[in-house]
Structure 1
Amino acid sequence: MSFSTQDSDEVLSEMNVTPLVDVMLVLLVVFIVTAPLMTNAIKVNLPKTDAVAAADKKDPVVVSVDQDGKFYLAKSEVAPESLEISLKDVKAKDPEVRVQLQADTNVNYGQVAKAMASIERSGITKISVMTSK
């Protein structure tokens, strides 16, 4: 009686995928290198002109809330009730006004919410909240 062990008589049914992975990695590297080169496929000779001044970007209006909850509009203290009126005046002078909101870390969130509500009610839509890194 002979016992058969798995010798070389049987066919291996597993495929070696190592060469396939190597080929795919090479193709991936080629694609990554050539993809940025295909974005500028059309060559255009642009005309030369004189330098033009950039459009004037006006500085944004800064609304600040300090640690005591006091409101400031462009470095001058403003009562919380009159912040909205002052911002409406600023918007009347410049409809494209931008506002930067700065609030102290220790200030009550309610004060910041009041400032944001005043900015919104004044009709100003371009607002950015300033933070530090």
Structure 2
Amino acid sequence: MSFGRFDRGVDEAPMSDINMTPLIDVMLVLLVIFIITAPLLAGHIALDLPKVDTAAAQRAPKSLSVSIQKDGKLYLGDQPTTLAALTARFAAAAKARPDTELRIRADTAAPYGDVAQVMGAAQGAGLDRIGLITQPAAAASGAMP
């Protein structure tokens, strides 16, 4: 035995192959990092927006509320009405403010045709913002959240 060397024995030859495991581990970690960060980089648009001293205009749209009962009765707000009267009211509201929103509250047993007639009358009068009002499932079943 010489000074500073370990005895390898006669059967063991030096390893001449490259160990690929650490290289593959590093590549997989880099792949995961790129997969996670790529969508974050693509969705960002850098803008230098101008500074304005005035406050932004907060104009809430006017809304009309129409209720439809299961027997087909129509209500504008809480007043009973007819489809012809609703059509005239929709036209007046669209002429006064084109951004008027129509909110339809229909009974679950109300015929779909009645709802479609009200929506058609509103669109014909020029109201294109129509919302169907529903109730949350927890409130409808009476369960507490």
Normalising TM by the smaller chain, what interval? Answer: 0.5 to 0.7
Counterpart-to-counterpart distance in 2, 1:88 and 1:45: 39
Percent identity over the alignment is 24
Q: TM-score scaled by structure 1? A: 0.64
1:122 to 1:21, Cα distance in 2 relative to 1, 3 A: farther
Counterpart mapping for 1:17-36 below 5 A: 23-24=27-28, 26-33=30-37, 35-36=39-40
Counterpart mapping for 1:87-102 below 5 A: 87-102=90-105
After superposition, what is the alpha-carbon deviation per residue over 1:52-77, rounded to whole angstroms, capped at 9, x for unaligned? 25422134211221223111122322
Counterpart-to-counterpart distance in 1, 2:46 and 2:88: 55
For 2:74, the equivalent position in structure 1 comes to 71
After superposition, what is the alpha-carbon deviation per residue over 1:84-127, rounded to whole angstroms, capped at 9, x for unaligned? 11111111221221212221111111211111121122121121
Aligned residue pair count: 114
The one-letter code of the counterpart of 1:63 is V
For 1:15, the equivalent position in structure 2 comes to none
The one-letter code of the counterpart of 1:124 is L
RMSD, matched Cα: 3.2
CA contact 2:66–2:102 (8 Å) conserved in 1? yes
Q: TM-score scaled by structure 2? A: 0.59
For 2:3, the equivalent position in structure 1 comes to none
The one-letter code of the counterpart of 1:132 is Q
Counterpart-to-counterpart distance in 1, 2:84 and 2:126: 16
Counterpart-to-counterpart distance in 2, 1:117 and 1:21: 62
SS at 2:84 equivalent: helix
Unaligned runs of 5+ in 1: 1-18
1:41 to 1:116, Cα distance in 2 relative to 1, 3 A: closer
Unaligned runs of 5+ in 2: 1-22, 137-145
